Structure 1
Amino acid sequence: MRKSALPRAAFPVLICLAAALWVIWGFLNVSVLVNSVLTLTGLMVALLLMCSCYRRQQPAGQRIDKRVSPPAGFTGPVLLVCGDIDDHLFVQGACRTTAQGCYLKVGSTDQLSKFADHLLAREPGMAEQLVVMFRCLPDLHKDEGRLRVSLKELRQQVKQLKNLSGYMPPVVLVGEFSGPETPWIVIRGNTPLFFPTDEPAQTLEEWRSLPENVICLPYLSHAVSLLQQVVMDELTKADILCPVVTPFAVVVRSGAVRSEIEAIWPQWLFRHTKLLPPASSSTYPSLWHFADPVLPLLAPYAMPLQGGKTWRLVVMFLLFCIVSALGLSVLHNQSLIGRIAADLQRWYAIPMTHYAAKAQSLQSLQQDALLLERWKRQGEPQRYGLGLYPGERLWLSVQQAIDTYVPPPPPQKPKLVPKIIRLDSMSLFDTGESDLKSGSTRLLVNSLVDIKARPAWLIVVSGHTDNTGNPKLNQTLSLKRAEAVRDWMRDTGDVPESCFAVQGYGQSRPIATNDTPEGRALNRRVEISLVPQANACQLPGKPSASSQDDGVSQHNGE
């Protein structure tokens, strides 16, 4: 037995430990440190439970006498007989087994839970087969107070037996009274049944209809009354320390049993009827004292359970772990759905014209989509499992939202404004002349360094004067001065003449007032600018360049 005790104690604990670790590592979304602490705690608790179960299955210095235990494989009710056990009951041994039940001699009531503890240590599956049979002989009790004390002890022992086995065992109250001989009477609820030997059961009306049974009725009536007012009263009265014990059945019979005149039953009978039990007594066979008729009633309520209390607790713990895993999985999936729903809600709430906020929300959705796609390929984490993971539906919603994204239009390039260079005419020409001064070359070079001939760009040279003199002559003079500058640029930079446009505006476009010497000086000018124009500055045989081309023509002197 010692070799099998440790595996028997360890196996259910290891199953519970595996279930607990499955929940901790699979469904608790906490840090690795917290999981490790919980795992160590579970291992310590499991070790303590295994040691406790091992000690429980191996009581130190105490062994069960195999002669006081049911046969191996017995599946009927196991009655633990306690209370008033005289020498006439277990004559042939402390264990009596029939096809319908097994009687075990416990002896004193205060040994009931200890006896059951030793019995279950050897056969844990017998927990639900146990039945408590309390035998009460009022003909031998002279003190009602001591009888009530034994009944209180019975309540204490039944409570301990329930904590030990995990089940409330049926309690059968057996009473034997001195008086006319009767068969066993089984009272369950309010229906008494009489069980004559080797005859079918009879109801009260059927039994008392026989003339020879009329004399027994007063004895039986007061015997039942005594059990109700003394025994049942003590078992069912309110007590904060012990639960109420309601007997499964009350079994009564009377006969020529030994009685003492000072005992409870003779005094009760005389006080209520002025009758006394028969003075003579006889010795009945041992089987006469066993209440076998109650065994068929107990069979449906006392059947073996594999594993007993331990395996019932294991099943309950496994169910708790499964329910906890389902609950945690629901919480994790709700959290995932809430987070992605918040991203989708923010996406649809942002107007399409808010490109910066829309791009930030798009990034969150793309991260959600990548996460869901990775879980789709590799499998979702266990904490989202158990058939509750809505990944496919979430991924589809996120992808549909991403597909509605409209990128912002490309930024418009700034409109090119022709660059204008203004040259003072008095620095280039003498008054009224259109020929360049001898010293103007340096000024032209310094001023026109950014003006370069480019394909599809037109170099516009325009001349302007103040309002002094004849307007027609001023227009002619401005044109000739513009042509002079054009000729210098053409000859100096080897720029084709097709790159130029020459205009003379005379006094028609002043940039300052002509009423002051300073204003007239500003109006006397030559302006040079680059203007986009298709097919401008294009050599024969060369394709036309875009007006936005910043490339420098091969004829710009580089």
Structure 2
Amino acid sequence: MRKSALVSVVLHTLLAVAALLWLLWYFIPMGNLLKVGITLLVLGWAGWIVWKNTGRHPVQANGEVADIDLPLLETQGPVVLVCGDGLDELFQQQSLRKTAQGWWIRVDNTDALGEWMRTLLEQQPRQAGQLSVMYACQPDQHQDEAVLRGAVKALRHQVFQAGKLAGFDLPVVLSCEFSGPETPWVVVRGDKPVIYPEDQTPLALDDWQQAGDNLGKLSILGQAFAFIQATLTDELVKTDRLSPAIQPFAVAFRTRAMPVTTQTLWSHWLWRRTCLRLPAGAQPAMPSRRFPDAVLPLLAPFAVSLQGGQRTRRLVLLIGLCALAALGFSANNNRGLITQVSTDLQRWYAIPMTHYEPKAQSLDALKQDVLLLERWQRQGEPMRFSLGYYPGQRLWLALQQAIDTYVPPSTPQTEAEPKIVRLDSLSLFDSGKAVLKPDSTKMLVNSLVGIKARPGWLIVVSGHTDNTGNAKQNQLLSLQRAEAVRNWMRDTGDVPESCFAVQGYGDSRPLAPNDTDAGRAQNRRVEISLVPQADACQVPGNHPPSSLDGDGTQH
């Protein structure tokens, strides 16, 4: 195999693998482990394809491997595969013939036409679009019409197979030579016959028949064309279940001096229809006149350099299918994304706002969706969601609108613990006395800096003693000491009387056991605290109405 053909096989295979893996890894939703397994299978398949195509060799009809190494067909013109009768005389023992307008390539066996086509495609795939087939027929070499029709039928089947390999229907040219008077090539394309005299400009049939004795040759040419239509063309176009009909691209025929016998198909045909018997002739034609070169300009507009043939067609088909599958998987992936976000939103709106715990869980799900969409907005959405279907912006907006409706649960307001300031009684009073010491002012100022009168709060001053002495005397002493502290605070801070409450507990509320000096010292104390009370510490003359007064008037 040529290097160019090997490169073509490898390139086509790599592109096919790239398309399949692109679809697999970027669009198909499945686990990575399964994707790795499928990737290995694809790579194995690609290796087998390369080995299969690079290891194949065309086989001749006798089973031998054909050793074909074509020269570089640098021409842009037609490349015609020639099979049929008289190829030795036609090619003069050569395998091909090059002209300024195209190439003629010899195919010795019609049944091997498909393998020859495969060889050409492997060695020079760019010439696939320039290929065509010519069947050379010499009816003077055939005595049985069934055998000739069988050969044409085999040609029809091989052309069909070669067309499948090339990726398009190959043009088929019929070239026939009959025994008879010497005439130039007649080429019929459609319904217009044109005469191509050697080294002269082409002539219409009417113009040619008026020159010399050409009029007498016209009946022979007419019968030759009728033979082609009734035998060769009929076999190509009639219905066959194995291969489709083939309409010949052009028909080229001529008559010339050839060895003649009375047992050939052409002789029988001519005798039955015209009662003519042609004299025998043995003058060989020049090799340059044997090819209907006039057909090449007709084939030229249909000869286009392509890359590959069937291999390229399959690659294009595969890439197209992968692209369509990618569109389908992208739409499915986006539908899944929409379903996921829609489910989260439906759950959000279905949960009442007062169900705080499930509502908070639903809110977390919405925030996760928003974070994901915002990251894709910054970095670009994954390819599996691209291809024009991605609805990220609309989903993000719907999620944000839902999140904005969230009302957090109100925090219950707990009543502030009353602030308690404890003062050592012996630091303020002498033992058993209820009169403040002269030096106690500094302690009172420093200790009571946080105790301020304000509406709705009651300043509670309570006195406490240890259990030493009489309990009744202790209760009275504790009350008197509380009143002394209350009076100091009232007079010093100009606090209204209504802001205070005075209590004396004696030894009824000890903080520590009275068994030790330290415990008794801890129990001898005066406590000042703030307690919330609606009607406490109000400005005189501005009393709020009670719940029983309604508008504040008495009844």
TM-score (norm 1): 0.70
Deviation at 1:162, TM superposition (A): 2.2
Q: Deviations over 1:173-210 (max 9, x none)?
A: 11112233332222222232222233333334444455
**Cα deviation, residue 311, structure 1:** 3.7
Aligned partner of residue 501 in structure 2, secondary structure: coil
Amino acid at match of 2:373: L
Contact kept? 2:457, 2:530, Cα under 8 Å: yes
Amino acid paired to 2:107: V
How far apart, CA to CA, are the structure 2 residues paired with 1:250 and 1:235? 13
Structure 1 counterpart of 2:334? 333
> What is the one-letter code of the residue matched to 1:166?
G
Q: Secondary structure at the match of 1:107?
A: coil
CA contact under 8 A between 1:63 and 1:118: conserved in structure 2? no
How far the C-alpha of 1:5 sits from its partner, in A, is 6.9
Measured against aligned partners, the alpha-carbon deviations of 1:11-69 in whole angstroms (never above 9, x if no partner) come to: 43233223322221111110122212211211221121111022126989845355xx3
Shift of 1:9: 3.8
Q: Contact (CA 8 Å) 2:459, 2:531: kept in 1 or not?
A: no
- Describe the SS at the equivalent of 1:89: helix
Indicate yes or no: 2:523 matched with 1:537: no
Structure-1 residue corresponding to 2:108: 107
2:532 is the alignment partner of 1:546 = yes
Q: Distance in 2 between matches of 1:4 and 1:73?
A: 13
Distance 2:119 2:367 in 1: 66
Match of 1:73 in 2: 74
Q: Which amino acid aligns with 1:338?
A: T
What is the letter of the counterpart of residue 67 of structure 2?
I
Work out the CA distance in 1 between the residues paired with 2:118 and 2:306. Answer: 16
* CA–CA distance in structure 1, aligned partners of residues 105 and 222 of structure 2: 30
- Contact map agreement 2:68 2:119 (CA 8 A) in 1: no
- What whole-Å deviation, never above 9, does each CA across 1:123-167 have from its counterpart, x for those lacking one? 232222221110111122110010011112112211221233333
Q: Give the aligned partner of residue 272 of structure 2.
A: 271
- 1:144 maps to a residue whose letter is E
3-state SS of the aligned residue for 2:140?
A: coil
Distance apart, 1:361 and its partner CA: 4.3
Q: d(CA) in 2 for partners of 1:488 and 1:16? A: 108
Q: What amino acid sits opposite 1:14 in the alignment? A: L
Shift of 1:7: 5.3
| Within-5 A mapping of 1:245-324 | 245-324=246-325
CA contact (8 A) 1:455 1:536 kept: no
Cα distance 1:6–1:221, how it changes in 2: closer, same or farther (>3 A)? closer
Distance 1:127 1:406 in 2: 73
Cα distance change, pair 143–32 in 1 and its aligned pair in 2 (3 A): same
- Residue equivalent to 1:52: 52
Q: Which residue of 1 aligns with 2:463?
A: none
Provide the aligned length of Structure 1 versus Structure 2: 445
Query: Match for residue 372 of structure 1?
Result: 373
1:100 positional shift: 0.7
Q: How does 1:144-223 map to 2 (within 5 A)?
A: 144-208=145-209, 210=211, 212-223=213-224
Partner of 2:67: 64
- Does the alignment pair 1:229 with 2:230? yes
| Range with bigger deviation, 15-24 or 536-545 | 536-545
Query: 2: CA distance between counterparts of 1:494 and 1:58?
Result: 126
Cα-to-partner distance string for 1:212-241 (whole Å, 9 max, x where unaligned): 433233222222222122111211222222
Is the Cα–Cα contact under 8 Å of residues 189 and 250 in structure 2 kept in the other structure?
yes
Structure 2 match to 1:97: 98
**Retained in 1: the 8 A contact 2:267–2:277?**
yes
CA offset digits 1:443-470 (Å, max 9, x no partner): xxxxxxxxxxx97599xxxxxxxxxxxx
5 Å matches for 1:464-475?
Answer: none
- What's the CA shift for 1:89? 1.3
RMSD (Å), alpha carbons: 3.7
CA contact (8 A) 1:127 1:309 kept: no
Aligned to 1:29: 29
2:86 maps to what in 1? 85
In structure 1, C-alpha distance between the alignment counterparts of 2:240 and 2:183, rounded to whole Å:
35
Partner of 1:292, secondary structure, is coil
Deviations 1:229-267 (A, max 9, x none): 211121122222223222111112223333321111121
Where 2:25 maps in the other structure, the secondary structure is helix
Tell me the distance in 1 between the aligned counterparts of 2:93 and 2:6.
Answer: 36
Do the aligned residues in 1 keep the contact of 2:58 with 2:116 (CA within 8 Å)?
no
Gaps of 5+ in 2: 416-455, 461-471, 484-497, 504-525, 535-555
How much has 1:406 moved relative to structure 2? Answer: 3.0
Cα separation, partners in 2 of 1:244 and 1:14, compared to 1, 3 Å: same
Q: Which moved more, 1:156-165 or 1:196-205?
A: 196-205
Q: Please, which moves more after superposition, 113-122 or 172-181?
A: 113-122
Which sits farther off after the overlay, 536-545 or 156-165?
536-545
CA distance in 2, matches of 1:235, 1:373: 67
Aligned position for 2:43:
43
Report the Cα distance in structure 1 between the residues aligned to 2:502 and 2:326, rounded to whole angstroms.
Answer: 80
Which residue of structure 2 aligns with residue 17 of structure 1?
17
Contact 2:17 2:46 in 1 (8 A): yes
Matched residue SS, 2:121: helix
Tell me the amino acid that sits aligned with residue 37 of structure 2: V
Q: Which stretch of structure 1 is more off in the superposition, 101-110 or 307-316?
A: 307-316
Q: In structure 2, how many angstroms separate the alpha carbons of the residues matched to 1:95 and 1:188?
A: 25
Contact 1:89 1:289 in 2 (8 A): yes
What is the rounded CA distance, in whole Å, between the counterparts of 1:50 and 1:142 in structure 2?
Answer: 47
Partner of 2:119: 118
Judged with a 3 Å threshold, the aligned counterparts in structure 2 of structure 1 residues 316 and 232 are, in CA distance, closer, same or farther, namely same
Structure 1 residues 373-408: Cα deviation after superposition (integer angstroms, max 9, x where no partner):
232344432312345433233212321221133335
Paired AA for residue 51 in structure 2: C
Is the Cα–Cα contact under 8 Å of residues 141 and 147 in structure 1 kept in the other structure?
Answer: yes
Indicate the residue corresponding to 1:394 in structure 2: 395
Query: How far apart, in 1, do the equivalents of 2:58 and 2:157 lie?
Result: 24
Provide the rounded CA distance (Å) in 1 between the counterparts of 2:342 and 2:142.
79
Kept in 1: contact 2:348–2:363 (CA 8 A): yes
Contact 2:101/2:297 (8 A) holds in 1:
yes
Matches within 5 A, 1:522-533: none
Q: Secondary structure at the match of 1:319?
A: helix
1:211 and 1:49 mapped to 2: Cα distance? 63
Give the deviation of 1:351 after TM superposition: 6.7
Residue type at the aligned position of 2:321: F
Letter of the aligned partner of 2:182 in structure 1?
E
1:293 CA drift (Å): 0.7
Shift, 1:410, TM fit: 5.1
Q: Please, which runs of 5 or more residues in structure 1 have no aligned partner? A: 415-453, 459-486, 498-533, 549-558
* Letter aligned with residue 537 of structure 1: A
